Structure 1
């Protein structure tokens, strides 16, 4: 039983599944050649940073064209627009590597260490919408899959601390099994973790996180001007390079008061 969606349009059924489970699985987004190109780019990215063990590296789109093309992929962007409307940004993009024979990760919700999203209200609002491109095969369990707790983005209580500390299993955990080239699309408040990886190869996933335009970026302090100069207008917009539709604070006041 999986919340399977098709690439592109965010349908009424997609919305129902996303609201109910907190995530969607989109198979067949990337071709074999595209997966190979993105995987090679991800390996170069980690090697250039000297990343060891489990690691995540940001801003790969600045130097790797294959990863840049995923920023506004037509299989994903219409779904992001359906949930956020017309104004949102790419808050961050992280390439994660789980090393060969990697162990299980800790249960968590996505958010900010500086200010937990759970403080904003119930249900926890959609602040980080993640599209995770699987670049190595995860069609069977124990291949570095993501494990999700369906519907947990609506829970009014936290996952028990003892379970989080011990990294224990839960009876409603759903290990996501999907081939390389698939996308896992999920809400920040869904409890999830990295599942065990028994393979003798490193597992790579490329994550793109979309947020409202007022959220601070987490993979960069400022946009790379060289990247902005050569990328597309849509991607510049997603970097947050757009004019504000209103002025801070005094937008609803008559013009004579705006000078004060």
Structure 2
């Protein structure tokens, strides 16, 4: 089976070629078993507190759960984000999702804004939301709550047929992402995708971190938590959009986040 697997760390020329060709790649073994267990326990607490019933997603869990906060600038993943965006980007949102045991197929969609369809901005649809999805339960076989992607669909001007979307139908070129817990799927907002069925007797959890250009509005918060900003690191503060704008809003003098090599 074809799989767009890349190594952790900096974005290589081959990584970039894979991403531009398929619209996504998978980084295996980003988290250790202990880290997966800690992030899974944090996710379960988040959804229990939110009273999640059935499929659900909770934002801002990085503010209250240190193990999830550490994913914001994970050294295996953030260099990939930086390689695709350059030095100036923010964490637009963080969504912790839960698919219940024996959950059915999700609907096909592209990521974006319901208020203004990203397709209106140009062709191909620009990279405005770069998602890093941390798998916190095993998805090494199909029908484990995997993501299903349509490779290269971020480049097509032709929409997925409405009847396929309405019926949540199968597509012969759909690619079910199979990877163990601790792996990370990184993908372009314009790739057509859906949540695949989940046959297991346990709930499936994924932590999604979405990075965007700095001028895009955050989608999981109206404003940053001041308590969180005071206790987190300078780099994470910058990635939350808390940076100086000497030539407002994003002109000359806008400093890049304090990466280690800056």
Give the TM-score normalised by the residue count of structure 1.
Answer: 0.95
Measured in 2, the distance between the counterparts of 1:159 and 1:107 equals 8
Instruction: Tell me if structure 1 keeps the 8 A contact 2:29–2:182.
Output: yes
Once the two structures are superposed, residues 41-94 of structure 1 have per-residue CA deviations (whole angstroms, 9 ceiling, x without a partner) of: 000000011111000000001100000000000111111111111110000000
Distance change in 2, residues 1:241/1:2 (3 Å): same
Provide the residue aligned with 1:152 in structure 2.
Answer: 153
Aligned mates of 1:2, 1:244 — CA distance in 2 = 41
Cα separation, partners in 2 of 1:250 and 1:175, compared to 1, 3 Å: closer
Question: Where do residues 198-213 of structure 1 align in structure 2 (5 Å cutoff)?
Answer: 198-213=199-214
Shift of the 134–250 alpha-carbon distance from structure 1 to 2, 3 Å rule, reads: closer
Structure 1 residue runs of 4+, over 4 Å off?
A: 248-251
- Matching residue of 1:30: 31
Aligned residues: 251
Root-mean-square deviation over aligned CA pairs = 1.1
CA distance in 1, matches of 2:240, 2:49: 23
Which whole-Å CA distance do the structure 1 matches of 2:45 and 2:250 have between them? Answer: 45
Residue 81 of structure 2 is matched in structure 1 by: 80
Give the structure with higher Rg (CA).
1
Q: 3-state DSSP class of the match of 2:41?
A: helix
Structure 1 residues not aligned, in runs of 5+: 252-260
Change (3 A) 1:167 1:230: same
Q: Cα gap change, 1:171/1:249 in structure 2, threshold over 3 Å: closer, same or farther?
A: closer
For residues 97-124 of structure 1, the C-alpha deviation after alignment (integer angstroms, 9 at most, x for no partner) is: 0000000000000000000101100000
1:236 aligns with 2:237: yes
Aligned partners of 2:114, 2:250: CA distance in 1, in Å? 28
SS in 2 for 1:141: coil
Aligned runs of 1:37-186 on 2, under 5 Å? Answer: 37-186=38-187
Secondary structure of 1:162's counterpart equals: helix
Alpha-carbon shift at residue 246 of structure 1 (Å): 2.1
Aligned partners of 1:246 and 1:84: how far apart in 2? 21
Q: What is the rounded CA distance, in whole Å, between the counterparts of 1:140 and 1:250 in structure 2?
A: 47
Determine helix, strand or coil for the equivalent of 2:87. Answer: coil
SS of 2:229's equivalent in the other structure is: helix
Deviation at 1:244, TM superposition (A): 1.7
Question: Are the structure 2 counterparts of residues 229 and 150 from structure 1 closer, same or farther at C-alpha, using a change threshold of 3 Å?
Answer: same
TM-score (norm 2): 0.94
Which residue in the other structure is 1:10 paired with? 11
